[in-house]
């Protein structure tokens, strides 16, 4: 009896907790509302299954608890029942998987008009690089990283000269413009994680990974690291500002390019020359 009641309470308690919980995801600030919706579908389906199973168990425990002289039924299996249950489960699983895969295919298909920006992680700070006026990010390599060239931008690549470098400072993004975020790391694994954007991806040294999204809400958002990267992992924070177009341009104008940072190299000089 107690057991049955406790089981029901566990199921009910979980639902009540879920409904009353003030702990819920952050208001979204990107185009990935579909992800939230798939999550909600999943919550519904799994919630129903959980409650059904636990309540059924509670009923069995109550109804078929041992009594003097009682004897259990003898029923080795039931083909029909098992097939039905398998079928229903398969349908439920498909109902979650199908939207999931559809949204995933959007997630991995970067729109052509997306502007590329680069996030470069290092223990334990965030750096950024924007493509500059030519719209192209110059080549880079971890082998080139040094004190004066913290992002390892290739000084011989003309495309890199006008790249805007933001070292250990906040990133700004214009609202409603899709961005393809290229991710690099110069030391260990990190993960560029802004909860409000929903999207995230690991950064792997030696590789350039990416994801894309469109910011849909202006404001300041906190960047966290979501892949263990050493003792500073929990304190590796940064900020992203989503700006109106005007504010964005104003911010951009105040930033320094690679060429400006790395000294007197003429922009566009043949071969980039002897940066250092």
Partner 1 sequence: MVDVTPHDESGVPPAEVPELELYHPKSWWTTYVFSQDAKTIAIQYSGTAIAIGFVALVLSWLMRLQLGFPGTFDFITPEAYYQFVTMHGMIMVIYLLTALFLGGFGNYLIPLMVGARDMVFPYINMLSYWIYLLAVLVLVVSFFAPGGPTGAGWTLYPPQAILSGTPGGQGAGIILMLVSLILFIIGFTMGGLNYVVTVIQGRTRGMTLMRLPLTVWGIFTATVMALLAFPALFVACVMMLFDRLLGTSFFMPALVDAGEQLSYGGGSPILFQHLFWFFGHPEVYIVALPAFGIVSDLISTHARKNIFGYRMMVWAIIIIGALSFVVWAHHMYVSGMHPWFGFFFATTTLIIAIPTAIKVYNWVLTLWRGDIHLRVPMLFALAFIVTFVNGGLTGLFLGNVVVDVPLSDTMFVVAHFHMVMGVAPILVIFGAIYHWYPKITGRMFHEGMAQFHFWVTFLGAYAIFFPMHYVGLVGVPRRYPEIGDTAFVPDSVQDLNAFITMAALIVGFAQIVFLFNIFWSLRHGREAGGNPWRATSLEWQTPTTPPPHGNWGDHVPVVYRWAYDYSVPGASQDFIAQNDPGTGIKAPRPA
Q: How far is the CB of 160 from Cu ion (least distance, A)?
A: 25
Residue 138 to residue 152: CA distance in whole angstroms: 10
Q: Residue 110: CB partners within 8 Å, gap ≥ 6? A: 178, 180, 210, 212
Q: How far is the CB of 226 from Cu ion (least distance, A)?
A: 8
- State the binding partner of 56 from Cu ion, partner 1, none, CB within 5 to 8 A by kind: partner 1
Q: Which stretch binds Cu ion (CB under 5 A): 112-120, 128-136, 225-233, 256-264?
A: 225-233
- State the binding partner of 251 from partner 1, Cu ion, none, CB within 5 to 8 A by kind: none
Residue 87 to residue 91: CA distance in whole angstroms: 6
Which residue number, 232 or 273, has a Cβ lying nearer to partner 1?
A: 232
242 binds Cu ion (CB under 5 A): no
Residue 219 to residue 242: CA distance in whole angstroms: 5
Contact assessment for residue 115 and residue 135, using Cβ atoms and an 8 Å cutoff:
yes
- State the binding partner of 66 from partner 1, Cu ion, none, CB within 5 to 8 A by kind: partner 1
Which residue number, 89 or 256, has a Cβ lying nearer to partner 1?
A: 89
Q: How far is the CB of 192 from Cu ion (least distance, A)?
A: 9
Q: Residue 244: CB partners within 8 Å, gap ≥ 6? A: 174, 175, 218
- State the binding partner of 93 from partner 1, Cu ion, none, CB within 5 to 8 A by kind: partner 1
Secondary structure of residue 157 in the 3-state scheme: coil
Residue 241 to residue 261: CA distance in whole angstroms: 23
190 binds Cu ion (CB under 5 A): yes
Token duo for residue 112: 């052509």
| Sole binder of Cu ion in the list 137, 165, 229, 275 (CB under 5 A) | 229
- State the binding partner of 241 from Cu ion, partner 1, none, CB within 5 to 8 A by kind: none
> DSSP state, 151?
T
Q: Which stretch binds Cu ion (CB under 5 A): 28-36, 110-118, 206-214, 233-241?
A: 233-241
Phi, psi of 93 (to 5 degrees): -65, -45
Residues binding Cu ion (CB under 5 A): 190, 225, 229, 236
């Amino acid at each position: 009896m107690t057991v049955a009641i406790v089981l029901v309470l566990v199921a009910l308690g979980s639902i009540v907790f879920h409904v009353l919980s003030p702990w819920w995801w952050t208001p979204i600030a990107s185009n990935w509302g579909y992800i939230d919706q798939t999550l909600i579908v999943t919550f519904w389906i799994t919630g129903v299954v959980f409650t059904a199973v636990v309540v059924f168990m509670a009923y069995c425990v109550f109804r078929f608890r041992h009594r003097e002289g009682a004897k259990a039924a003898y029923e080795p299996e039931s083909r029909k029942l098992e097939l039905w249950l398998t079928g229903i489960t398969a349908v439920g699983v498909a109902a979650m998987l199908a939207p999931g895969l559809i949204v995933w295919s959007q997630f991995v298909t970067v729109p052509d008009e997306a502007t590329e920006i680069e996030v470069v992680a290092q223990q334990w700070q965030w750096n950024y690089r924007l493509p500059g006026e030519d719209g192209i990010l110059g080549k880079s390599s971890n082998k080139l990283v040094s004190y004066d060239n913290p992002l390892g931008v290739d000084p011989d690549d003309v495309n890199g000269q006008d790249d805007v470098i933001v070292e250990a400072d906040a990133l700004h993004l214009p609202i409603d413009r899709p961005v393809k975020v290229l991710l690099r790391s110069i030391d260990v694994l990190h993960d560029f994680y802004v909860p409000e954007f929903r999207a995230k991806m690991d950064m792997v040294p030696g590789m350039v990974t990416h994801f894309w999204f469109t910011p849909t809400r202006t404001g300041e958002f906190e960047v966290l690291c979501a892949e263990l990267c050493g003792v500073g992992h929990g304190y590796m924070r940064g900020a992203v500002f989503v700006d109106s177009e005007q504010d964005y341009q104003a911010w951009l104008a105040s930033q320094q390019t690679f060429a400006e940072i790395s000294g007197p190299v003429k922009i566009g000089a043949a071969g980039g020359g002897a940066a250092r």
